[in-house]
């Protein structure tokens, strides 16, 4: 079991208990251009741009938030809903009676590298960075992914039990990286024998709502893979859940923790799900299927995510890892890359439109080289830290995430949208728990697109999607 923990990954739902001062007004981006196709927003210990705490205008008006290659960053505006059509060429009609999945949340991963970079800043800048992600005046992250023991985004190799033959886990303990960089609170004494990772973190008042069966099991079956990976076939994963993980978790003091299978690329679906979920002994312990975004271009979402959902609608689909800069042809950090922001938004919209209930970025923060990473597998992140200057840069991809995470609350339900004609616009619509509607629109084309939204409950919303832009529209229906 100790070895199995090496590459497993958990998801934790974060509840902020610290006092948060709500910022109801927006502050402007301090833009810096590093020679790519757009800009970053620079933040320090005393200043960081923010759209503030968002509240919608009364019935009959709507809010819009725009980010673009040209430099807008969640630029807010309000206008009147119209009684009559504007006659714009494209009409997007909200179809509220077509109801689909409900949102669980959005977030990122607190890897060792992310923690190292956040802690490299002054206390004031650390506070700014964390508030940008997690506070109500930030972008509303509610999910954090935490690796079990080391991964490539660590500075050393370690497990939680490096004692050979210790199958009873008598020497199981968290690493200094967990205790000094992630828990940051004095431990509570356990009431009984600890059940692995969940119990050890519980001593620090951190609880987890879900765990996955292990990160990218297909990688672990590749010969000479370059960093930590535990290989599973779907048959092996099925049997491990049915005979070991499922019964052990059910009998522990954390029986309500969700188990998500796969935690790998969607090109493995629906085959992987069929093998595991068709087995009644494994299926009864499982709640969902975790997917990564790599290689998404190789297989359409409908024949992977869509088919999986239709075969197993009782199991939810959850995006658990994505990052830019992983491709050898486009490697590492690109400060100010709007193209990468569009890649994020496109993938999120496609996933949401194919029954995914949440989407998790990889490292919450990296340095300017895209690390640290012990095998130099450098990638990009929505937040890049410059510790020498005690500043951090919010990438365009940070705002791409914000257009979803800040507006799609937990429990928001996707509803239908129909377009009056073929369009380059990409979109997804949701009704939030309070009845308000959110429509997110991506324009990856180099031309401005005029359109109108028709919500039969309120009227017509005339709008424009500038070239290379991401737009969130929101309005009350009562």
Catalytic: which of 42, 200, 216, 342?
Answer: 216
What residues does 460 pair with on adjacent strands? 82, 454
Whether the ω angle into residue 184 lies within 30 degrees of 0, i.e. cis, is no
Distance CA 169, CA 320 (A): 28
The rounded Cα 386 to chain-centroid distance in angstroms is: 23
- Render 17-40 in DSSP notation, one character per residue: -S------S-B---EE--SSSS-E
Active site residue 302: no
Q: Name the helix (H) or strand (E) containing 119.
A: helix 112-119
Cα-based distances in Å from 226 to 143, 219, 221: 28, 9, 12
Q: Sign of torsion, CA 329 396 306 271?
A: positive
Are 441 and 473 a contacting pair, CB within 8 Å? yes
Pairing mode of beta strands 105-109, 356-363: parallel
Give just the sign of the alpha carbon dihedral 300, 302, 306, 308.
negative
Cβ(374)–Cβ(154) under 8 Å?
Answer: yes
CA distances from 167 to 9, 52, 159, 269, 384 (A): 20, 51, 14, 33, 40
Catalytic residue among 42, 177, 200, 321: 321
Rounded to whole angstroms, how far apart are CA atoms 275 and 311? 12
Angle at 249 between CA 243 and CA 355, to 5 degrees: 90
Residue 42 known to be catalytic = no
User: Within 13 Å of residue 64, how many CA atoms lie on the same side as its CB?
Assistant: 20
Catalytic residues: 216, 321
């Amino acid at each position: 079991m100790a070895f199995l923990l090496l590459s497993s990954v958990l998801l934790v739902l974060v509840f902020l208990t610290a006092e948060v001062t709500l910022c109801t007004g927006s502050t402007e981006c301090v833009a810096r251009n590093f020679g790519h196709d757009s800009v970053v927003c620079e933040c320090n210990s005393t200043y960081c741009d923010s759209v503030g705490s968002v509240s919608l205008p009364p019935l009959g008006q709507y809010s819009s938030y725009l980010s673009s290659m040209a430099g807008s960053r969640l630029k807010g505006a309000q206008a009147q809903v119209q009684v009559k059509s504007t006659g714009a060429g494209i009409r997007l009609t909200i179809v509220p009676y077509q109801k689909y999945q409900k949102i669980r949340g959005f977030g990122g991963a607190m890897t060792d590298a992310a923690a190292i970079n956040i802690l490299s800043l002054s206390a004031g800048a650390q506070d700014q960075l964390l508030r940008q992600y997690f506070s109500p005046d930030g972008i509303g992250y509610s999910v954090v992914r935490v690796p079990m023991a080391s991964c490539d985004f660590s500075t050393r190799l370690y497990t939680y039990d490096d004692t050979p033959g210790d199958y009873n886990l008598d020497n199981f303990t968290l690493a200094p990286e967990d205790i000094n960089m992630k828990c940051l609170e004095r431990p509570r004494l356990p009431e009984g024998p600890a059940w692995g990772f969940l119990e050890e973190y519980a001593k620090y008042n951190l609880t987890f709502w879900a765990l996955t069966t292990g990160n990218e099991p297909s990688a672990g079956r590749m010969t000479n893979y370059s960093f930590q990976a535990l290989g599973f076939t779907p048959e092996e994963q099925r049997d491990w859940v049915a005979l070991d993980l499922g019964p052990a978790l059910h009998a522990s003091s954390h029986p309500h923790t969700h188990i998500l299978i796969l935690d790998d690329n969607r090109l493995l679906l629906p085959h992987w799900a069929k093998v595991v979920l068709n087995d009644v002994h494994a299926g009864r312990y499982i709640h969902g299927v975790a997917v990564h975004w790599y290689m998404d271009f190789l297989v359409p979402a409908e024949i992977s995510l869509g088919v999986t959902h239709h075969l197993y609608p009782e199991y939810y689909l959850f995006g658990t890892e994505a990052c830019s800069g992983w491709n050898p042809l486009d490697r590492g950090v690109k400060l100010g890359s709007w193209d990468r922001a569009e890649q994020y938004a496109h993938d999120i919209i496609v996933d949401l439109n194919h029954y995914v209930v949440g989407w998790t970025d990889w490292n919450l923060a990296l340095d300017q080289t895209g690390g640290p990473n012990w095998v130099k597998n450098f990638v990009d992140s929505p937040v890049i830290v410059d510790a020498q200057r005690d500043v951090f840069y919010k990438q365009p991809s940070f705002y791409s995430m914000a257009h979803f995470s800040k507006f799609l609350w937990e429990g928001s339900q996707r509803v239908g949208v129909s377009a009056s004609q073929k369009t380059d616009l990409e979109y997804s619509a949701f009704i939030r728990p309070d009845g308000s509607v959110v429509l997110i629109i991506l324009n990856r084309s180099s031309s401005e697109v005029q359109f109108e939204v028709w919500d039969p409950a309120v009227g017509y919303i005339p709008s424009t999607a500038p070239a290379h832009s991401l737009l969130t529209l929101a309005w009350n229906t009562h």
